[in-house]
Amino acid sequence: MKLKHLLILSLSSVAIVSCVREIKNNQSNKSLMAVNTSVPMSSTQAESLVQLAQSQQSTVTKSGTFISGEHTTQGTVRITNKDGKLFLELDQSFKTSESGPDLVVILHRLDNVLNSTKSPSYPLKEGDYIIIAPLQKYSGTQIYSIPSNINLVDYKSVAIWCRKFNATFGTANLN
């Protein structure tokens, strides 16, 4: 029985979250509760759901598609802003080679990293990039927090880089 109530509450939450954008800012929580009246809900629950929906909204500030460098790298990267905090997100189509040790995710100052260096390894110059974090996994969705002291205006691309061999696996120009 509890599972049934949880399922109903979850479905109501999804309906409310999808409607939050359509409701004008000057409307009260009572009008929000009227969006889905099929499930009784207290005003405290409605307020909590509104706060949850607003906190989960994110804005994509920049994005790009990976191109291969030293090794085949593919997928999309997005820089998002959630509640004033910046995140670098690799999508589910992200994939890079498993042949590199010490792979890291970096922000680079140039918008065309591969043309600014030499093949086959595409080595990077110190000072042109900042390391965000070690790569979590070779493929799939990943999220990295961008430190608040980093000014995104200074960086024009994201790269997957092998720190040990100074080899750029792939880059994505941020638009």
Residue 106 scores a pLDDT above 50: yes
Pair (63, 75) in one structural domain: yes
Last residue in a domain, options 56, 74, 93? 56
Pair (24, 69) in one structural domain: no
pTM score of the predicted model: 0.67
Residue 26 scores a pLDDT above 80: no
- Quick one: pLDDT band at residue 1, thresholds 50, 70, 90? low
Pair (105, 31) in one structural domain: no
pLDDT at 19: 41
- Quick one: pLDDT band at residue 121, thresholds 50, 70, 90? confident
Is the Cβ–Cβ distance between 128 and 159 less than 8 Å? Answer: no
Pair (35, 121) in one structural domain: no
Q: How many domains does the chain have?
A: 2
SS3 of the chain: the string is: CHHHHHHHHHHHHHHHHHHHCCCCCCCCHHHHHCCCCCCCCCHHHHHHHHHHHHHHCCEEEEEEEEEECCCCEECEEEEEEECCEEEEEECCCCEECCCCCCEEEEEECCCCCHHHCCCCCCCCCCCCEEEEEECCCCECCEEEEECCCCCHHHCCEEEEEECCCCEEEEEEECC
Pair (86, 160) in one structural domain: yes
Pair (146, 165) in one structural domain: yes
pLDDT at 58: 76
Pair (73, 129) in one structural domain: yes
Pair (52, 69) in one structural domain: no
Domain interval for residue 158: 59-173
When pLDDT is averaged across residues 162-171 and rounded to a whole number, the result is 96
Pair (69, 49) in one structural domain: no
When pLDDT is averaged across residues 99-124 and rounded to a whole number, the result is 92
pLDDT in tens, 38-90: 344 455 554 554 454 445 567 989 999 999 999 999 999 999 999 999 999 99
